[in-house]
C-alpha cells in the first residue's frame, strides 16, 4: 500500500543531466543521447521510508527550459525540488539562484537539494568545491554531488527529499 506520494520537480539548464537522472533513477538505465519519449511527462519509483511505502513522481521538463517556457502546470503541487547544474558547465552553476527563485514563485518553500551532476568529469570542472559549498550554504540547501553516468549518489537525492517530506 502506498502511504503517500510526492511530486518532485527537477530544474536546471538544458544539458545538465535532468532527463538522464530521471531515467537512471526510475529505469536504472543511462544512455548517452537520451531523447524524451513523447507523451511521457513523468516517471515514478516506489521506495520505503521509515517502513512506509512512498511513491516518488519525477517530472521532466521536456527541454522547455531552453526557451524559458516551463509552465505553471509543471510546478503545480510540487512537494520537493532538485536544482541541478553540471560540473562542466559554468553557466548552469550560475543559473541555480534563478532556478530557485522560479520554483519559489510557484511553490513557496519546499524541501530542496542542489545537485552537482557529472562529478565523473571532475577533471574538467569549471567550478571549485568552495564556491559550490558557499552557494549551498547561502541558499540553505543540502548539496549532493552525483554522477548519473556512474550511478553515484542518485538514489540519495530522492531518499533525502522523501525523508524531508515525510517529516513535514
Ligand atoms: P537535460 O537537458 O538536463 O535533461 O540533460 P540530459 O539528461 O539530456 O543529459 C545531457 C547530456 O549529458 C547527455 O549526453 C547525457 O548522457 C550526459 N550526462 C548526463 N549525466 C551525466 C553524468 O553524470 N556524467 C556524464 N559524463 N554525462 C552525463
Ligand atoms: Mg531533458
Contact 58 CB / ligand 1 (< 6 Å)? no
pLDDT, tens only, 16-45: 999 999 999 999 988 776 665 444 568 999
Q: How far is the CA of 32 from the centre of ligand 1 (A)?
A: 7
Residue 59's pLDDT band, with cuts at 50, 70 and 90, is confident
The predicted pLDDT at position 108 comes to 85
Residue nearest to atom 26 of ligand 1 (CA): 118
3-state SS class at 86: strand
CA dihedral 81, 8, 32, 130 (to 10 degrees): 20
pLDDT, tens only, 121-133: 999 999 999 999 9
DSSP letters for 96-130:
HHHHHHHHHHHH-S--EEEEEE-GGGGGG-SS-HH
Distance CA 143, CA 36 (A): 27
Q: How far is the CA of 124 from the centre of ligand 1 (A)?
A: 15
User: From the alpha carbon of 63, which atom of ligand 1 is closest?
Assistant: 2
- Closest ligand (CA of 84): 1
Amino acid at each position: 500500500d502506498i502511504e503517500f506520494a510526492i511530486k518532485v520537480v527537477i530544474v536546471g539548464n538544458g544539458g545538465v543531466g535532468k532527463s538522464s537522472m530521471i531515467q537512471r533513477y526510475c529505469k536504472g538505465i543511462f544512455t548517452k543521447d537520451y531523447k524524451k519519449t513523447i507523451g511521457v511527462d513523468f516517471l515514478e519509483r516506489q521506495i520505503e521510508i521509515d517502513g512506509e511505502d512512498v511513491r516518488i513522481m519525477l517530472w521532466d521538463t521536456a527541454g522547455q527550459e531552453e526557451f524559458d517556457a516551463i509552465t505553471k502546470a509543471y510546478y503545480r503541487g510540487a512537494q520537493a525540488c532538485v536544482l541541478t547544474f553540471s560540473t562542466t558547465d559554468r553557466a548552469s552553476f550560475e543559473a541555480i539562484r534563478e532556478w530557485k527563485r522560479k520554483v519559489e514563485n510557484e511553490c513557496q518553500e519546499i524541501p530542496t537539494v542542489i545537485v552537482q551532476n557529472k562529478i565523473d568529469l571532475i577533471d574538467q570542472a569549471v567550478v571549485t568545491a568552495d564556491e559550490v559549498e558557499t552557494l549551498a550554504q547561502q541558499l540553505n540547501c543540502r548539496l549532493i554531488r552525483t554522477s548519473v553516468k556512474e550511478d553515484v549518489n542518485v538514489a540519495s537525492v530522492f531518499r533525502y527529499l522523501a525523508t524531508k517530506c515525510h517529516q513535514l
